[in-house]
Amino acid sequence: QQQVKQSPQSLIVQKGGISIINCAYENTAFDYFPWYQQFPGKGPALLIAIRPDVSEKKEGRFTISFNKSAKQFSLHIMDSQPGDSATYFCAARGYQKVTFGTGTKLQVIP
């Protein structure tokens, strides 16, 4: 099963708040879990990624939490800013192929 389920579909957060996006997968062969950020009219850009042997990875205000036993991972954006308003996609790589989630449209309001 190559599907990656992402929620919520949309999210509104106040400036300074924490944005949390969740993803779940079925295929235990996935070995790399990137998150992509996409602004309108642009292609997705790699934001942060994690391997399944690590439970958490932090880069600046962005943190991935990974729960291997539950087959879930999430993106946390601390101190969310209006400039973070974009669509976020989780993804999972397996068998040389990357499968994307359906996306979360984040709006950070002042």
Choice between 43 and 83, CB closer to another protein: 43
Q: Could you say which of 24, 101, 106, 108 contacts another protein (CB under 8 A)? A: 101
d(CA 58, CA 65): 9
d(CA 41, CA 2): 27
Question: How big is the site for another protein, counted in residues (CB under 8 A)?
Answer: 21
Judged by CB under 8 A, does residue 97 bind another protein? yes
Give the binding site for another protein (CB under 8 A). 6, 32, 34, 36, 41-46, 49, 89, 93, 96-103
